[in-house]
Structure 1
Amino acid sequence: MNTLVAALPILVLIWMMVKSSPIASYIALPITALLAALLQLFYFQADLRLLLANSFAGVLSVMTPISIIAGAILLNRMLAISGAETTIKHWLESISSNQVAQLMIIGWAFAFMLEGASGFGTPAAIAAPILVGLGFSPFKVIIFTLILNSIPVSFGAVGTPTWFGFSALQLDDGQVLAISRWTALCHVVAALVIPMIALCLVLPLKKVRQNSVFIYLSVFACVLPYWLFAQWNYEFPSLIGGAVGLLVTIFLANKGVGLNNSAVNAQSTKGKAEFTPKALFLALFPLLLLIVVLVITRIHQLGIKALLNDETLWLSIHLGFAQFELSKALILSLHEIFGTSVGWSYKTLFVPALIPFVLVVLICVPLLKMSKPQVKQMCSDTLGRIAKPCIALIGALVMVNVLMQGGHNAPIFYMASTFADLSGEHWVLFASYLGALGTFFSGSATVSNLTFGGIQYGIAQQVGLSETLVLALQSIGAAMGNMICISNIIAVASIVGVNNQEGPVLKKTFLPMLIYGAIVGCFSYLFY
């Protein structure tokens, strides 16, 4: 009964968003958050003050995703209004007018590399508008980028979901490396199927089959170096795999290796504009600068990452309801909200909003010779696109915080424990879905690993399974959960200008997520 009540808000949310006349996310998510809070208060007998504190922290937590979305939209509008996006589009058309090649270069290899450098939804945020600019359907582009932004996620943001996501378990380097190896191998196995599924949701099956040689060459160009690096390192597999894969994929596309002419982009044949090398460099410079800044600020050996995360106290003020602190790296924090243990923080310089998005825009606006009216339009477009996503994300994050309240009596843990009791020693078949559930709730693979890593570790010990195997499946599940994560769907949809389609998108991405989990679960069950 506890599990059924705990799952009720999620079931209601799914029903509201996938029914024949779906309710918009900015309405459905606040309703779900309210329902979750009422159940916590009246059924689970939650402490009211703690419930209010968690809800308030959830509202404040929207600053992280909404600032990233705003930064990505700002960059996108700058590229579009300045004409840089058109130049990039024509350059990509000059590499290959084949639709499969364009999708694999931008939505697969380029996004793979961006995930390795940054994470935080950055890959889909940058790749999606470029693909829309090439003439692909915005709705299909959302689905495509969400599905493919899964395989590299376990090692996204220089491996953060792996090395930081399981940090609370105090694992040694050998255990983390064992998790890394099995995680990478399972992702490689899934990569034999998932990109093909994603392509078939954008293009006719016949076109996909005719270009299958190129597709698999591009897939292997990313995942083989990705898997090799994961044998001895758990920070750089996605970054290195994506960089190698991008270069190889562009080379193959330029030479036409494995490509069929029947998949030519109809929009590309309407006439190709001329562009000079200087114009191309200026158009690409914002994206190149973005990647450089991301890499510099994410590789901890360079020292800048530590500076941007410096928690040395600079200012501390008691606000009456909480203790406010400001660090030297401008990290905003609230402690003991409403006299509880609940806190909140926002890493102003490390969250990829001011750095790199706003920084890149400030540097590139004069380089692209944008006029004052163009800059004004860029800013107004950005503000107009983030209003409704902001409301939706507040609902999502409040719901997450409320459902996670209560420790081992939290609604989310009732659901997880029930899954384990039902599966027993066959848990490897289902473990990844728990990781996906965590990402569905939180919008972050790292948060999913932090939240469910402990219970996955406990389940493995309880039923006699390898702890590193189960934790690897948790990490894989957290990555594949990006496909169905509401906040990710909202973010990408907002950036490409698609409104109130979260339910239909979820319908399309849910089945690939189930297939992904079945592949890695069966592979682990049979071959571990």
Structure 2
Amino acid sequence: MSLILAIIPILIVLTGIVILKKPAWAVALIGVGVTFVLAVTAFSGETSAMLTTTKSGVVSALQVAFLVWGAFALLELMQVSTGMNRIKTTVSSLTKDRRVQIVLIAFCLGVFIEGATGNGAPAAIFAPFLLGLGFEPLVAAAACLICNGVPPCFGGAGVPTIAGMSAITDTVPLSSIVAMTGRFLAVGCLVVPVVLLIVLYGARSLKGMWGYLLSVSVCMSAAMLLVTNFIGAELADLISGVTGVAASVAYLKLRGVKQRAEYVNGSDATFDTNLSNFKAFLPYILLLILLPAVRFSFPLSALTRYGYATWIGAVIHLVVFISSCAMGCADKFFLCEKNAILKLVKPIITLCALYALANLMNSSGMISRIARFLADAAGSFYPAVSVIIGAIGAFITGSCLGSNKLFCMLHVEAASTLGINKFVAVAASSAGGSLGNMICPNNIIAVNATLELKNAEGAVFKRTIKAFVIMTAVYCILAMLYAYVFFPEFGM
């Protein structure tokens, strides 16, 4: 019975948003109310403790909302300044192929920014970028969420793995966890760009793209494998992302992709702007410089003092201000900030409720109850199930870090009991946690907010769930092969 009760909050969110297509803010408020009652009654949580954890969730949500606000203010500035028009012209001169544009921006650049910041920032930054380039809002949102299914394990300079696994690294070497996780993500780098195009445009969209996709994905995969096995977690996404961008540009310059009419980005035939390329790209250049610079210049404890997402948001708002001055529209800065926050009222309410719901499920033991049921039922299939457990953790908590913190000890205990490789079990869960970011309600709400997609959470979920299912199946198969065929004695 406790298992059924533990699943109820998840069912409320999925049914309300995806099936009934009700407003996300209303569904989230109902969900957090029901979860609070269950936590206090069925799971014996103290009322005062549950109120405290609810408040903590709201605070965390407001920190993420600060980041989303900055990303949306940046989009406002790019439109007001006509900078986005210049970017459209420049990107079109490199390639007019939507398939190439979406892989380069959402995947290659997305992996880099996730490595610098973590916390799902790539979706908040690049979904509006794609929108400005003429992509449909639904496509832009789904693309960024799908592409963020690889890098969160090592996002924010490796924090989800380094900090998320801290409870077990006294007995389980971190370097071995990182190396094994990299072996999952290296395959992810190979598969996700292909899955991305299939989900968004159908299998026929791969025609004429194999050379480009292989060049980019093989280079990124090799970089991920080498960095995680010989350097560490901190630079894995950063180096992989840069490698992907370099490989992409080199391929386009040296060989190019044969354009097909149905995939040509022909939005806005004329681009009205007086800005130079440098000024138009300045906000994104500053982000690419400042986000890694700030992350590696200050102790993690200083950056996380007011929440990890807060410093990212602060950098984005600073970039908006600097860019507005450089673009000659400093007088529009406050207007951009004002317009952005006014459009985020309902999404902020939704985020607050969902984060509170996640905290309640965690503190009351609901998440642990679901995970232990799966672990007990898994038997020899535990390596595959650990992927699913990790994905559930990220789906509920909103991050790979949260999933790793919740379940790393569970995986070590289960692996020891079942006699399987604990590194594979832990890494498989972390890889699954990255996949959970594709369909996490918090992430979907945040991306939709930056794109002004109203009541479209269900539509975005239906697109991303296809990629999630495919990648989960791939990782589950990998986990079984790694545990029983390729690496049964790894790290032992």
Is the TM-score greater than 0.5?
A: yes
Aligned counterpart for 2:225 among listed residues 219, 227, 244? 227
- Which is further off, 258-267 or 387-396? 258-267
Question: Quick one: distance in 1 between partners of 2:268 and 2:304?
Answer: 50
Aligned counterpart for 2:290 among listed residues 266, 288, 293? 293
Question: Quick one: distance in 1 between partners of 2:259 and 2:143?
Answer: 21
Question: Quick one: distance in 2 between partners of 1:176 and 1:55?
Answer: 32
Aligned position for 1:364: 323
Question: Quick one: distance in 1 between partners of 2:219 and 2:426?
Answer: 27
What is the one-letter code of the residue matched to 2:405?
L
* Aligned-residue offset at 1:271: 4.9
1:228/1:512 Cα in 2 relative to 1: closer, same or farther (>3 Å)? same
* Aligned-residue offset at 1:200: 2.2
* Aligned-residue offset at 1:216: 2.1
**Secondary structure at 1:369's aligned position in 2?**
coil
* Aligned-residue offset at 1:202: 2.5
What is the one-letter code of the residue matched to 1:387?
V
- Which is further off, 38-47 or 479-488? 38-47
**Secondary structure at 1:516's aligned position in 2?**
helix
Question: Quick one: distance in 2 between partners of 1:192 and 1:229?
Answer: 16
Aligned position for 1:315: none
Question: Quick one: distance in 2 between partners of 1:366 and 1:28?
Answer: 41
* Aligned-residue offset at 1:256: 4.1
Aligned position for 2:490: none
Structure 2 unaligned residues grouped into runs of 5+: 488-492
Q: Is 1:378 matched up with 2:333?
A: no
Question: Matches of residues 32-431 of structure 1 in structure 2 within 5 Å?
Answer: 32-171=31-170, 175-232=173-230, 233-262=232-261, 264-267=263-266, 270-271=269-270, 279-299=276-296, 304-306=297-299, 309-310=301-302, 331-332=305-306, 346=307, 351-354=311-314, 356-370=315-329, 372=331, 374-406=332-364, 410-431=365-386
Indicate the percent of aligned positions where both proteins have the same amino acid: 25
Q: Is the 8 A contact 1:212 1:258 kept in 2?
A: no
Higher helix share: 2
- Which is further off, 212-221 or 239-248? 212-221
Q: Is the 8 A contact 1:116 1:239 kept in 2?
A: yes
Question: Quick one: distance in 2 between partners of 1:203 and 1:186?
Answer: 26
Q: Is the 8 A contact 1:98 1:265 kept in 2?
A: yes
- Which is further off, 28-37 or 375-384? 375-384
Q: Is the 8 A contact 2:111 2:238 kept in 1?
A: yes
Question: Quick one: distance in 1 between partners of 2:28 and 2:268?
Answer: 43
Question: Quick one: distance in 2 between partners of 1:218 and 1:145?
Answer: 17
CA offsets per residue over residues 385-420 of structure 1, 9 Å max, x none? 2211111011111111111124xxx11111111001
Give the alignment's Cα RMSD to 1 decimal. 2.1
* Aligned-residue offset at 1:147: 0.6
Q: Is the 8 A contact 2:24 2:350 kept in 1?
A: yes
CA offsets per residue over residues 231-284 of structure 1, 9 Å max, x none? 122211110111121022022123443444445524158356787xx7101111
Q: Is the 8 A contact 2:62 2:352 kept in 1?
A: no
* Aligned-residue offset at 1:14: 1.0
Q: Is the 8 A contact 2:160 2:400 kept in 1?
A: yes
* Aligned-residue offset at 1:352: 0.6
- Which is further off, 42-51 or 427-436? 42-51
Aligned position for 2:439: 484
What is the one-letter code of the residue matched to 1:491?
A
**Secondary structure at 2:350's aligned position in 1?**
helix
What is the one-letter code of the residue matched to 2:276?
A
CA offsets per residue over residues 448-476 of structure 1, 9 Å max, x none? 11122122222222222222111101110
Question: Quick one: distance in 2 between partners of 1:403 and 1:272?
Answer: 49
* Aligned-residue offset at 1:522: 1.0
1:364/1:429 Cα in 2 relative to 1: closer, same or farther (>3 Å)? same
Question: Quick one: distance in 2 between partners of 1:68 and 1:510?
Answer: 25
CA offsets per residue over residues 128-149 of structure 1, 9 Å max, x none? 1121122211101111110111
Aligned counterpart for 2:387 among listed residues 432, 436, 443? 432
1:510/1:171 Cα in 2 relative to 1: closer, same or farther (>3 Å)? farther
CA offsets per residue over residues 318-371 of structure 1, 9 Å max, x none? xxxxxxxxxxx8935xxxxxxxxxxxxx368x63111x1111122221111015
**Secondary structure at 1:22's aligned position in 2?**
coil
